[in-house]
Amino acid sequence: MSVSTHVLDATTGRPASGVRVSLSWLDPLLGDADGEWVAVADGETGADGRFGFGEPTGSGVYRLTFGTGEYFTARGVAAFYPQVTITFEVKDPDAREHVHVPLLLSPFGYSTYRGS
């Protein structure tokens, strides 16, 4: 299974390039009873607003964390959310499955869904 994202800036109607994004996995065997987050990979969206994580992943709970505050600050725009975290679960990944998680972003709101 692989994971990718696509960030769109709703204020400009264009892809959001230069957004820092990281992927973490919740390891249920580490830390306290709730588990511990383990970094898988990180990077930055390209000119098309996309980033793909090359690391193969398996079933479990994952989270994507986006540096939205940094993105808007670099553009001189005040924003409410310093970061956006999206947590999702993959229950039974097929080796060929791809999980795509888009983020539609504005300074004072965001939305997401499971893409294709």
Interval 6-21: pLDDT, tens: 999 999 999 999 999 9
Domain locations in the chain as residue ranges: 2-112
Interval 66-91: pLDDT, tens: 999 999 999 999 999 999 999 999 88
Interval 18-59: pLDDT, tens: 999 999 999 888 877 788 999 999 999 999 999 999 876 788
**Of 111, 101, 95, the residue nearest 51 (C-alpha):** 101
More confident residue, 73 or 98: 73
pTM for the whole thing? 0.92
When the pLDDT of each residue in the chain is averaged and rounded to a whole number, the result is 92
CATH number of 2-112: 2.60.40.180
Residue 107, helix vs strand vs coil: coil
Question: In whole angstroms, what is the distance from residue 28 CA to residue 25 CA?
Answer: 9
